[in-house]
Amino acid sequence: MSSPEIASLSWGHMKVKGCSTTYKDCKVWPGGSRTWDWRETGTNHSPGVQPADLEEVVQKGVKTLVIGRGMSEALQVPQSTVDYLKKNGINVLVLQTEKAVAEYNALAAQGVKVGGVFHSTC
């Protein structure tokens, strides 16, 4: 199963190819996507992305995970979160969201088992 292409990104809006939903923040993995609802894990810009935010995507068997920190990179990614991914044998890329989406799409096009979590505003 391949990772779906992110078809479009603008401030507060993301579209995933093959999905009718428009996301503000989203999680994507080989074969699917859904809204990334920060309230589920109590996530905030600081301290930022927690392992609990990534668990669902990790369980989909991804080899690489791309984290989009927002258009202005306001979303933090603590070292403990990066360490969690590395401990699970997953390559991690932490980038500004536009760069993260471009990198994710490039990896997906190459057939890499890539997942991502993307914040589309600040």
How much is the mean pLDDT over the chain? 97
> What is the per-residue pLDDT across 39-62, written as a single tens digit (0 to 9) for each?
999 999 999 999 999 999 999 999
Q: Is the dihedral of CA 24, 54, 64, 100 positive or negative?
A: positive
CB atoms within 10 A of CB 115: 29
Query: pTM here?
Result: 0.97
Q: Which residues pair with 94 in a beta bridge?
A: 67
Q: Is the peptide bond before 47 cis (omega within 30 degrees of 0)?
A: yes
Domain ranges of the chain: 6-118
| Architecture of the 6-118 domain | 3-Layer(aba) Sandwich (3.40)
